[in-house]
Homo-oligomer: A and B are copies of this chain.
Amino acid sequence: MTARTSGSAPAGPGRRDTRQRRLLRDQLSRQEAFVSAQQMYDDLRASGDRVGLATVYRTLQAMTEAGELDVLRSDDGEVLYRQCGPQHHHHLVCRSCGVTVEVDGPAVEKWAAKAGEAHGFTEVTHVVELFGLCAACSRASR
């Protein structure tokens, strides 16, 4: 029997610092927009870094569970990820270029809670996302 006798380091899953995790974290922190796992994969290998597709999916999923990423689903069913602030907020996403702005809406929170209550619902959560054309894209399409 070796190792696994000291009880100090929390040596569970999800904490090793690997090359591929570093790459993903870096790329996410440079991203302004929501991106899909497939996109991340393509971008990485486009810049010469070799990372398995399964790893991209696994890591993105893990980071989401750890609360490090926000998730969104595109109209055609792809799951999109983005590094966001920790406080509760919503997104204003550009339909054209994907740029995203975090916005908050105290009014919405209250309305959601009240509407749920009014119908006898409990444990009410809400999904609120705004889509539009950002200033730049609006100008470009004019």
Is A108 interfacial (CB-CB < 8 Å)?
Answer: yes
User: Residue A116 contacts which of B73, B92, B128 (CB distance < 8 angstroms)?
Assistant: B92
- The verdict on A116 contacting B132 (CB below 8 Å), with A121-B92, A121-B94 known, is yes
Establish whether residues A115 and B92, one from each chain, have CB atoms under 8 Å apart when the complex forms.
yes
18 chain-A/chain-B pairs, Cβ below 8 angstroms: A92-B116, A92-B121, A95-B123, A107-B107, A108-B111, A116-B130, A121-B130, A121-B133, A122-B132, A122-B133, A122-B138, A123-B132, A123-B133, A124-B130, A124-B131, A124-B132, A126-B128, A128-B128
B-facing mask of A50-93, CB < 8 A → 1, else 0? 00000000000000000000000100010000000000000010
Oligomer copy total: 2
Q: Which residues of B contact A108 (CB under 8 A)?
A: 107-108, 111, 128
Given contacts A77-B77, A116-B130, 4 further A-B contacts (CB under 8 A): A121-B130, A126-B130, A127-B130, A128-B128
Is A11 interfacial (CB-CB < 8 Å)?
Answer: no
Q: Which residues of B contact A111 (CB under 8 A)?
A: 105, 107-108
Establish whether residues B128 and A127, one from each chain, have CB atoms under 8 Å apart when the complex forms.
yes
Q: How many chain A residues have a CB neighbour from B under 8 Å?
A: 32
Is A33 interfacial (CB-CB < 8 Å)?
Answer: no
Is A125 interfacial (CB-CB < 8 Å)?
Answer: yes
> In the assembly, what is the distance between CA of A101 and CA of B107, in Å?
21
